């Protein structure tokens, strides 16, 4: 047995600022477009959905943005989160690599999502908002916002993708324990939902549909705003506490990553661990290789087009420039519900275009295999989403063995799998399969990409 | 919103020793008796079940017993565990009390149980044992031993009370993810199991039956030993890292408990938080009131006899002097499976006899109500077992309000409720009820208490 090594930061090392990578990029992100006019939007266009403080963060260009003290107070319940050296996994792989994992499953909701949920709830509360709407796939984001709503005294209404709603009643129960309401999407409460149900009464739902519902409700009510768990610039920025802490923790270990891996659905946990290191690299520090690990059944970074597209199925959201499979794309069934999104965060997409990150797609069976190996060595059962990052790290560690080089690998273990046990049951019973997406469907989804004149 | 306050110990403050309260008690515990002869047993009688190192700890009288470094290395993955000041709960209760909770849900298995599972797996591995058997009720203990077995490379076979096995497939899946085998008890694999099944083919099982099965298998195989998750002296001692850490953390807060509350099933998490403080009190420090909180449907401390009794239904285990409802007692259905045991740890029982602790029984509905209040204020969803401790703390905090006195309350939040969501669903849907045990059944169970001549 090898030694357990944990790098814990003192509480006074909790980051004081979020890091905004826009300040260090060689070019500015492309503008966000209005869904009606297809012209660049202004802050006032977003006001029905978000409080001004968050809109300002969405377009901010300064490098560091101060974290309000009430947000840091809530963060302190579980932050700084631990960084571990995965010595038992290294031994099992017989690799010379040094593998570190940052563990975000210590938050009350069990993932990295509260890093932004708490911030978003705070700014909405400050702005006098009474109620938040949002969507959730696997339920990690919905439960994070339910937790944050409980802390700040906000009502929370979550539209949960119907197939997950039915498969994962315990996620709904967790949200309700925190006092939130959770509704299966498509629902009959919204125009967007009713429209889908009219055509497809048995629709399993999708993140794109659920976003349409949540946005529609928020836009209609003055006391209600909308909250998104990934994709947007401010959301990714809130997650950079992860990477900033990891950097300080690796300093304690007198190490620096050669390789950083994270899983990508909308891109926020990946951005959280990677952006501070990429930014440091752009300012002269060593440049780690940064690898985004996505599911091969929903491969926005490895197969998507880099184009303007809608964030939702109902085309209510603004358009952003991103890697997208097309807003109508519905991936085949697989168990990492948090990675089932047709698009990718504009900033992550831009970084790939700039050659600052790589991306890879993995099948779910290979990911569950890595997850079980991780559980049996490191003792923590990862969420199916996090298994993609573990798979990427294991692949790199085995390459280190082949090459005989002791590289340092940093992975973001973004959440635990306590609410994903059915997936593990199915995997261990041999019931899971790797289902590919339909190429014709993908082509059809690509054909829906809006024609946009803006460069 | 009130400030979140966390007291984190530096890793070098992880306790170096377990604390053995026997050293400080005014009288020695009564001897353990052989199930056949009803005479005091010697170490060799326990050798088929336990490695000698654990048998020595079971009868040890020295105050401090060194924690082996390999055990501390595994502890370091999550220890020292955090102590929190429950300011948001205090505000909701409008109480002058200062409520602190020690949170053991941060372990990989989600409860305090790994504190002893890791130690037991280590000593068994050292003794050349290849395989461990054990029982589990709700599954917290079984998963903790599965985790420890994965870390030390031991096979683990868990007999899980059938009703829990069927209600909680995710606990089984967690054990299997760590490589353990989990079997519904009563099973047809053992004489004890077959005997029960012959009489009651649909037996829901009980901890007492599952213990019989696990003990039977361990006794028959030279490479296999038995592991128990509570009740025994050495198990309680392994949990004292909790209280030792809490004492150091309260010192950081410049506070000391007036009242300590813990939930009791077998007694181990309660002992873990309370014994170091009780021992300090016996050596001259202030004496906190210490309150054991148990379910009113299985009230061993508040309604049990203080008598010699078997630990299991099949009468394979030695007899211990304890508060017991009788080894045939089967409590009515309730959701805190970890508290459904007919007996109580002999050391906890002795402390009650010595007037060093108090005990109280709570109904499950009142406990779930407290649990939801805790989740909505402190953000952590407690296990149903832990809700008993929360209920005791809330009751005391409200008394502080009535009395206008700012007492310091320390509670052990022994685990999270991520694997107990069905219970929360049933509670929130109004489907749970408070079922009392049958007085006639209790009288019948009392009548089975063995006649023992030893004083």
User: Å from A423 to nearest chain B CA?
Assistant: 10
Half-sphere exposure of A396 (CA within 13 A, CB side): 29
A50 in contact with chain B, both atoms CB, cutoff 8 A: no
Say if the Cβ atoms of A173 and B424 lie within 8 Å.
yes
Say if the Cβ atoms of A177 and B8 lie within 8 Å.
no
Testing the interface with B: which of A14, A118, A173 to mutate, by most B Cβ within 10 A?
Answer: A173
Same domain, A157 and A296: no
**Residues B80, B67, B214, B174: is their CA dihedral positive or negative?**
positive
pLDDT of residue A376: 97
Per-residue pLDDT of chain A (455 residues; tens, 9 = 90+): 456 678 877 878 899 999 999 999 999 999 999 999 999 999 999 999 999 999 999 999 999 999 999 999 999 999 999 999 999 999 999 999 999 999 999 999 999 999 999 999 999 999 999 999 999 988 999 999 999 999 999 999 999 999 899 989 999 999 999 999 999 999 999 999 999 999 999 998 988 899 999 999 999 999 999 999 999 999 999 999 999 999 999 999 999 999 999 999 999 999 999 999 999 999 999 999 999 999 999 999 999 999 999 998 889 899 999 999 999 898 887 888 888 899 999 999 999 999 999 999 999 999 999 999 999 999 999 999 999 999 999 999 999 999 999 999 999 999 999 999 999 999 999 999 998 999 999 999 999 999 886 54
Testing the interface with B: which of A68, A72, A73, A77 to mutate, by most B Cβ within 10 A?
Answer: A77
Asked if the structure places residue B427 within a domain, the reply is: yes
| DSSP structure class, residue A188 | S
Say if the Cβ atoms of B421 and A6 lie within 8 Å.
no
Say if the Cβ atoms of B173 and A147 lie within 8 Å.
no
Same domain, B185 and B247: no
Q: Check if the beta carbon of residue B185 is closer than 8 Å to that of residue B162.
A: yes
Final residue belonging to a domain, choices A229, A245, A272? A229
Same domain, B331 and B431: yes
B68 in contact with chain A, both atoms CB, cutoff 8 A: no
Q: Check if the beta carbon of residue B219 is closer than 8 Å to that of residue B49.
A: yes
Give the helix, strand, coil percentages of chain A, each rounded to 5.
Answer: 45, 20, 40
Same domain, A364 and A419: yes
Final residue belonging to a domain, choices B181, B205, B229? B229
Rounded CA-CA distance B383/B239 in Å is 18
Q: Check if the beta carbon of residue A145 is closer than 8 Å to that of residue A227.
A: yes
Say if the Cβ atoms of B177 and A6 lie within 8 Å.
no
Q: Check if the beta carbon of residue A113 is closer than 8 Å to that of residue A139.
A: no
Same domain, A428 and A385: yes
Any idea what the CATH number is for the domain that residue A238 is in? 3.40.50.1100
Pairing outcome for strands B319-324 and B305-310: antiparallel
Rounded CA-CA distance A1/B218 in Å is 25
Chain A CB contacts of B147 below 8 Å = 379
Rounded CA-CA distance B326/B357 in Å is 22
- pTM of this prediction? 0.95
Same domain, B247 and B297: yes
Residue A186: asked if its preceding bond is cis (omega within 30°), the reply is yes
Using alpha carbons, select from B392, B421, B61, B82 the residue that is nearest to residue B245.
B82
Half-sphere exposure of A238 (CA within 13 A, CB side): 28
B69 in contact with chain A, both atoms CB, cutoff 8 A: no
User: Å from A412 to nearest chain B CA?
Assistant: 17
User: Å from B9 to nearest chain A CA?
Assistant: 9
Q: How many angstroms separate the first and last alpha carbons of chain A?
A: 57
A118 in contact with chain B, both atoms CB, cutoff 8 A: no
| DSSP structure class, residue A182 | E
pLDDT of residue A437: 92
A334 in contact with chain B, both atoms CB, cutoff 8 A: no
Asked if the structure places residue B386 within a domain, the reply is: yes
B19 in contact with chain A, both atoms CB, cutoff 8 A: no
Rg (CA), chain A: 20
Q: Which two tokens stand for residue B251?
A: 């010192």
Nearest-Cα residue of chain A relative to residue B171: A421
Same domain, A95 and A221: no
Asked if the structure places residue B215 within a domain, the reply is: yes
pLDDT of residue B423: 94
Say if the Cβ atoms of A147 and B379 lie within 8 Å.
yes
User: Å from A38 to nearest chain B CA?
Assistant: 42
Asked if the structure places residue B439 within a domain, the reply is: yes
Please give the C-alpha separations between residue A104 and each of A114, A245, A264, A380, B6, in angstroms, as whole numbers: 10, 11, 15, 11, 17
Angle at A60 between CA A451 and CA A242, to 5 degrees: 100
Strand partners, A292: A262, A359
Q: Give phi and psi for B163, each to the nearest 5.
A: -60, -40
Chain B CB contacts of A76 below 8 Å = 4-6
Of B152, B375, B422, the CB nearest to A1: B152
Final residue belonging to a domain, choices A229, A244, A265? A229
For A56-59, the CB contacts below 8 A with 24+ separation are A57/A20, A57/A233, A57/A234, A57/A237, A58/A232, A58/A233, A58/A234, A59/A233
User: Å from B169 to nearest chain A CA?
Assistant: 9
Q: Check if the beta carbon of residue B22 is closer than 8 Å to that of residue B29.
A: yes
Asked if the structure places residue A149 within a domain, the reply is: yes
Chain B CB contacts of A77 below 8 Å = 4, 6, 84, 379
Same domain, B416 and B442: yes
Residues 163-192 of A with CB under 8 A from B: 169-170, 173-174, 176-179
Asked if the structure places residue B297 within a domain, the reply is: yes
Testing the interface with A: which of B381, B384, B428 to mutate, by most A Cβ within 10 A?
Answer: B381
Asked if the structure places residue A322 within a domain, the reply is: yes
Nearest-Cα residue of chain B relative to residue A417: B174
Chain B CB contacts of A376 below 8 Å = 150, 177-179
Please give the C-alpha separations between residue B133 and each of B147, B315, B344, B418, in angstroms, as whole numbers: 14, 17, 21, 25
| Helix axes A169-177 and B421-428, enclosed angle (nearest 10) | 60
B252 in contact with chain A, both atoms CB, cutoff 8 A: no
Chain B CB contacts of A379 below 8 Å = 77, 108, 147, 150-151, 178
Say if the Cβ atoms of B425 and A179 lie within 8 Å.
no
Say if the Cβ atoms of A173 and B11 lie within 8 Å.
no
Rounded CA-CA distance A119/A130 in Å is 15
Same domain, B380 and B239: yes
B418 in contact with chain A, both atoms CB, cutoff 8 A: yes
Using alpha carbons, select from B140, B83, B394 the residue that is nearest to residue B268.
B140
A368 in contact with chain B, both atoms CB, cutoff 8 A: no
Rounded CA-CA distance A1/A4 in Å is 9
A3 in contact with chain B, both atoms CB, cutoff 8 A: yes
The stretches of A4-139 forming alpha helices (DSSP H) are 43-46, 52-58, 69-75, 87-93, 114-126
| DSSP structure class, residue B379 | S
Same domain, B159 and B254: no
Please give the C-alpha separations between residue B408 and each of B96, B97, B260, in angstroms, as whole numbers: 9, 6, 9
Rounded CA-CA distance B59/B397 in Å is 38
Nearest-Cα residue of chain A relative to residue B429: A173
Exposure class string for A346-359: b at 16+ Cβ within 10 A, else e = bbbbbbbeeebbbb
In the A/B pair of chains, how many CB contacts fall below 8 A?
121
Say if the Cβ atoms of B170 and A76 lie within 8 Å.
no
Nearest-Cα residue of chain A relative to residue B86: A77
Of B150, B375, B422, the CB nearest to A177: B375
Half-sphere exposure of B315 (CA within 13 A, CB side): 12
Distance from chain centroid for Cα A76: 21
User: Å from A201 to nearest chain B CA?
Assistant: 27
Say if the Cβ atoms of A379 and B425 lie within 8 Å.
no
Say if the Cβ atoms of A179 and B381 lie within 8 Å.
no
Say if the Cβ atoms of A11 and B11 lie within 8 Å.
no
Same domain, B387 and B292: yes
Same domain, A264 and A200: no
Asked if the structure places residue A4 within a domain, the reply is: no
User: Å from B40 to nearest chain A CA?
Assistant: 38
Residues of chain B scoring pLDDT < 70: 1-4, 453-455
Pairing outcome for strands B131-136 and B155-161: parallel
Q: Which two tokens stand for residue A451?
A: 């024609």
Q: How many angstroms separate the first and last alpha carbons of chain B?
A: 57
Residues 130-169 of A with CB under 8 A from B: 147, 150-153, 169
Chain B CB contacts of A177 below 8 Å = 372, 375-376, 381, 424, 428
Over the stretch B125-162, which tens digit does the pLDDT of each residue have?
A: 999 999 999 999 889 999 999 999 999 999 999 999 99
Of B4, B106, B153, the CB nearest to A74: B4
Rounded CA-CA distance A248/B435 in Å is 53
Question: What total of structural domains would you count in chain A?
Answer: 2
Q: Check if the beta carbon of residue B262 is closer than 8 Å to that of residue B269.
A: yes
pLDDT of residue B309: 96
**Residues A263, A269, A273, A275: is their CA dihedral positive or negative?**
positive
Residue range(s) defining the domain that contains residue A286: 79-110+234-447
Distance from chain centroid for Cα B213: 20
Say if the Cβ atoms of A173 and B428 lie within 8 Å.
yes
């Amino acid at each position: 047995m090898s030694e357990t090594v944990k790098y814990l930061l003192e509480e006074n090392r909790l980051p004081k600022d979020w890091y905004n990578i826009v300040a260090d990029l060689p070019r500015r992100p492309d503008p966000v477009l209005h869904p009606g006019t297809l012209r660049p939007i202004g802050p006032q266009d977003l006001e029905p959905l978000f409080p001004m403080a968050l809109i300002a963060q969405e377009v901010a260009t300064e490098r560091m943005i101060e974290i309000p003290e009430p947000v840091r107070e809530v963060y302190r319940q579980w932050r700084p989160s631990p960084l571990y050296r995965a010595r038992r996994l290294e031994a099992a792989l017989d690799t010379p690599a040094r593998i570190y994992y940052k563990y975000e499953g210590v938050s009350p909701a069990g993932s990295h999502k509260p890093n932004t949920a708490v911030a978003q709830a705070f700014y909405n509360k400050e702005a006098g908002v009474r109620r938040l709407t949002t969507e959730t796939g696997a339920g990690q984001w919905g439960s994070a916002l339910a937790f944050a709503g409980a802390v700040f005294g906000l009502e929370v209404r979550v539209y949960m993708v119907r197939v997950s709603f039915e498969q994962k009643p315990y996620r709904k129960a967790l949200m309700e324990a925190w006092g939130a309401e959770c509704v299966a999407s498509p629902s009959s409460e919204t125009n967007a939902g009713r429209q889908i149900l009219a055509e497809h009464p048995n629709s399993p739902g999708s993140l794109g549909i659920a976003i349409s519902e949540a946005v529609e409700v928020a836009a209609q009510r003055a006391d209600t705003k909308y909250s998104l768990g990934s994709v947007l610039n401010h959301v990714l920025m809130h997650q950079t506490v992860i990477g900033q802490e990891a950097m300080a923790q690796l300093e304690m270990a007198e190490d620096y990553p050669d390789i950083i891996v994270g899983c990508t659905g909308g891109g926020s946990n990946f951005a959280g661990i990677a952006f501070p290191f990429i930014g440091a690299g752009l300012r002269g520090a060593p440049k780690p290789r940064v690898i985004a690990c996505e599911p091969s059944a929903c491969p926005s970074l490895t197969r998507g087009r880099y184009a303007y597209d809608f964030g939702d199925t109902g085309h209510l959201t603004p358009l952003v420039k991103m890697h997208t499979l097309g807003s109508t794309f519905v991936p085949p069934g697989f168990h990492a519900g948090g990675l089932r999104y047709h698009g990718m965060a504009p900033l992550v997409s831009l970084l790939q275009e700039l050659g600052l990150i790589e991306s890879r797609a993995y099948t779910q069976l290979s990911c569950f295999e890595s997850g079980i190996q991780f559980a049996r060595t490191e003792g923590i059962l990862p969420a199916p989403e996090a298994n993609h990052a573990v798979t990427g790290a294991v692949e790199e560690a085995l390459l280190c063995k082949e090459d005989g080089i002791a590289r340092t690998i940093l992975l973001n273990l973004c959440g635990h799998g306590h609410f994903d046990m059915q997936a593990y049951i199915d995997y261990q019973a041999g019931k899971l399969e790797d289902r590919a997406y339909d190429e014709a469907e993908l082509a059809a989804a690509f054909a829906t990409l809006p024609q946009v004149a803006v460069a």
